[in-house]
Structure 1
Amino acid sequence: MVRKFNGRWLMCIDYIELNKACPTDPYPLPSINRLVDGTSKHGLLSFMDAYFRYNQICMHPMDGAKTTFITFKGSFCYKDCISLDLEVYVDDIVAKSVDSKQHYEILARVFDVLRKHKLKLNPEKCSFSV
């Protein structure tokens, strides 16, 4: 357990050995430079941070025994949310637009997807329409 800057505790688990046994991810993390460049021409940005990272994503029941977190809800993947008006990096989402009308439409779509998949944002780490 590690104490975070806000006083809450964060559980840390060493998955090095488990990761060695897993297949290589065909979808590597995007380059931070590409993400920053992708937001540069947009007038409005909203930054969202998901609570508890991957612990919100249900895993396949057969894989539950391989980790400390066990679930029987099945496996899911993000395929609805990512689009040209979003940048996503691990558990961080940036919504980008050129005007407020478009921005609110994008945010409404993002919130619909988050609600549909029961994902929660950390309000302390979110900034909207900046």
Structure 2
Amino acid sequence: MLSFLDAFSGYHQIPMSPDDEEKTAFITPHDLYCYKVMPFGLKNAGATYQRLMTKIFKPLIGHTIEYGMKLNPSKCAFGISVGKFLGFMVSQRGIEVSPDQVKAVIETPPPKNKKELQRLTGKLVALGRFIARFIDELRPFFLAIRKAGAHEWTDSCQNAFEKIKHCLMQPPILSSLIPKEKLYMYLAVSEWAINAILFRCPSPKEQKPIYYVSRTLADVETRYSKMELTALALRSTA
């Protein structure tokens, strides 16, 4: 069973150090004020909040009362088998693509201009973690976006789009890490991208992907040798 927790105004539950309160001062027509709790927008606010979450939940989930953390009941779920988290479906099987995301891509018509192509590319990039060699598959899109002049939706773009839609209709389930279990990796390089798959083998005939990595090569990296690219793929995955 799974539980999803949402802190009520999470940042505001972290008190400011008295010595730092004056650094958050702001002026209004009525007076000069400063924050006594951590406000949104501070450069290190996200990292500070993440450290607090790690401190509270890493040893054992369920310590919100002990630490005095207030939760937002309308956004919490307890004792469920599957739920949506950060746009993805999470269950004990692992992480899956949300059906809503897949539907949005499947029902998207071929773009008619460069702006629509960029919007479609953005949708697909958000799902790249579920598609092997994603950058290689999406290369026709990138070439069309970079092309000067009028937008042109080529046969290569359409073929790539259909292949990606097919992959999303049967997406893999990203498995969860098992402590102390041995992990394996596939690496693949091309002229314009590096790719990797991290996976586990529960049995000799079974491979369960944990994460797909795919990124475009920088201009200087395109001149690397195959061995250097393979090492780069390994380093990027780590």
Per the TM superposition, whether the score is higher than 0.5 is no
More strand by share: 2
With a CA cutoff of 8 Å and minimum separation of 6, indicate the structure with the bigger relative contact order: 1
More helix by share: 2
TM-score (structure 1 length as normaliser): 0.37
Q: Which has the larger radius of gyration?
A: 2
